[in-house]
Chain A
Amino acid sequence: MRKKRSKQDKIYDTIIFIILTIIFAVVAYPLYFIVISSISNPEAVSSGRVFLFPVGLTFDGYMEVFKNQQVVSGFLNSLFYTFCGVMLNLALTLPTAYALSRNKFGGKKIVTIFYVITMFVSGGMIPTYLVVKNLHLLDSMFALILPGALGVYNMIVARTFFKMNISEELYDAAAIDGCAEAKFFFKIALPLSKAIIAIMVLYYGVGHWNSYFSALLYMKTETKFPLQLVLRSILVQNQSHLSQTITTAAQQEALEQRRQLMELMKYSLIIVSSLPVLIMYPLVQKHFVKGVMIGSIKG
């Protein structure tokens, strides 16, 4: 009996190992392929000779990315929008979450209902657009950061965290020592909540960095475009300024080379645009998961 069990388990382990390896390859390979393609000779990439290792090492794609004025300004705009957006998110989310985590707060129930309703019903794209327009926020950074300034899901995650980590006794003790509500929040609650602040910065930060839809709706001036909108025109709409008249074979060849370079640039662009998230990711992966877990407990 015992022998049979271990044999079956061995088969099980082997099958699981094989499945997991396949999953690993399927998820990792496209990402890996982008990386090796971005530093390969463009001609080798388009003819399919790049498969496991980079071929004909070159950094021309990256050079092209940094020479592109739109990309550079988009990158800087996105950094700025993300920074301002996250600051505003924190300034609204953390105090709200904190207040709602306090048992003695009389408005707890009604404020919670006020927020939860917005999770299930919304006015939709057009009425929201009209509100932004009537406030004269079109083509301004505020159109990108104000409408989503408080994410209800994130707020609930933060509230649950405060509830679990900042005990009512702690507050009572501080109150006896004459500590006011605001002081307690800034001097005691926040310093004890670095983990949740990290989670919020990441959730909101990735959201701002990756968002393009509100910019598509609200932004008109090209120099104010965030990176994702620039990426859309290059990666998806394929706008690469190739309008040259072709007369001679030499020009034709030059054009072909240029076209290949543009293709190469796309791979490099994908890497560059994902850089901020890629840098953050390993640092905070454990926080991410913790955030989801707090969210799934819900209170």
Chain B
Amino acid sequence: MSTRVFKQSGMSKKNRFLKRLKKDYPLWLFVLPGIIITFIFSYVPLYGVQIAFRNFNPKLGFFGSPWVGLEHFKRFFDSPYFFTTIKNTFVLSLYSLIAGFPIPILLALILNSFRHKKYRKVIQTVTYAPNFISTVVMCGMLLLFLSPSVGIINNVIEFFGGNNINFMAEKDYWRHIYVWSGVWQGMGWSSVIYFAALSSVSPELHEAAIVDGATKFQIVRYIDFPSIIPTATILLILSCGSILSVGFEKVFLLQNDLNLSVSQVISTYVYKVGLIDNNISYSSAIGLFNSAVNAILLIVVNRISKKLSGISLW
């Protein structure tokens, strides 16, 4: 192969490119189907984002509809839903982040320092399992458990002499239900990545620390914990970048008219406006606004992190 490259070196750049294409064409055939599909379903919608700046008219189509500039954005900023949806989205993601981010780290740390191998395995198997439950089933379980008439939680409350609570109808509980069920479902699986980081800690460090008389807690605190900080930082940056895109599916399923004032977030609002009320352009504008804020957040957080800790995505 190296002799071939040598022969080519005298050719012009264009020729070399063609030669290279000819040589690589089997591999190009390998990637071509994926490129076509991704182009159609990821890049065409990206180009289609411009309907946010047009007044979508199904007759005139995607690109024939008239331009209206930023009108839809203005309409969103002026609408009474602007403040509530933004606030709900922010509160829900921040709450999820604060509750959901440290717990997998703690789980990985303590499980890693636990010496009983068999029990460790059992706990890992069990804590990973909820991750594979579908969102629909997860929400179905929540509704069953929290049901005011037959749910186990109200049965327990009544057993201790308390009063029946209709959890899904009271908006004060909604955020806690959403966030903590998410923690329940995700903590085991999210801890896997920290396990990977912990497994790269050299055992010699541990042995040396034991010889020096360190306690188990000190080993976790001064050896294990620092070793996962880079991983944790990267994950934190990534989750800050998506702070405005709280998951659609679970919010949507747990939503009802009684909790709408805390559960209407940007993505569910986009769905409602766009596909239920058929305001295609307006809803695309809201979606685009959402992505833009996410991108800005990601860039800002990444820059801050680079300054403070030297760890960054790019």
Contacts and interface: CB of A to CB of B under 8 A. Distances in A.
B37 A181 contact: no
Interface string B1-20: 10000000000000000001
A12 B249 contact: no
B178 interface: no
Interface string A55-68: 00000000000000
B132 A127 contact: no
A160 interface: no
A192 interface: no
A107 B27 contact: yes
Contacts of B27: 99, 102, 105, 107, 181
**Most chain B CB atoms below 10 A, which of A17, A155, A211, A235:** A235
Interface residues of B, number: 92
B134 A150 contact: no
B41 A147 contact: yes
Contact of B132 (A48, A102, A206, A235): A206
A228 B135 CA distance: 9
B295 A121 contact: yes
A23 B123 contact: yes
A262 B47 CA distance: 47
B296 interface: no
Contacts of A95: 30-31, 33-34
Given A28-B126, A134-B62, A181-B26, A20 B141 contact: no
A124 B134 contact: no
Contacts of A16: 110, 113-114
Contacts of A164: none
A21 B236 CA distance: 28
Given A126-B283, A228-B134, A121 B46 contact: yes
A270 interface: yes
B76 interface: no
**Most chain B CB atoms below 10 A, which of A48, A123, A134, A263:** A123
B208 to A, nearest CB: 15
Contacts of B136: 210, 212, 228, 231-232, 235-236
A149 B1 CA distance: 35
B48 interface: yes
Interface string A140-156: 00000011111000010
Interface residues of A, number: 98
B139 A48 contact: no
Interface of A: 1-2, 5, 8-9, 12-13, 16-17, 19-20, 23-24, 26-28, 30-31, 33-34, 45-48, 91-93, 95-96, 98-100, 102, 104-107, 111, 114-115, 118, 120-132, 134-135, 146-150, 155, 172, 180-182, 185, 206, 209-213, 217, 228, 231-232, 234-236, 238, 263, 266-267, 269-270, 273-274, 277, 281-282, 285, 288-289, 292-293, 296-297
Interface of B: 1, 20-21, 23-24, 26-28, 30-31, 33-35, 37-38, 40-49, 51, 62, 107, 110-111, 113-116, 119, 122-123, 125-130, 132-137, 139-141, 143-145, 149-150, 152, 155-156, 158-159, 184, 188, 192-193, 195-197, 213-217, 231, 248-249, 253, 267, 270-271, 274-275, 280, 283-284, 287-288, 290-291, 295, 298
Given A181-B26, A274-B133, 8 more contacts: A12-B217, A30-B184, A104-B1, A125-B283, A228-B134, A238-B143, A263-B144, A266-B144
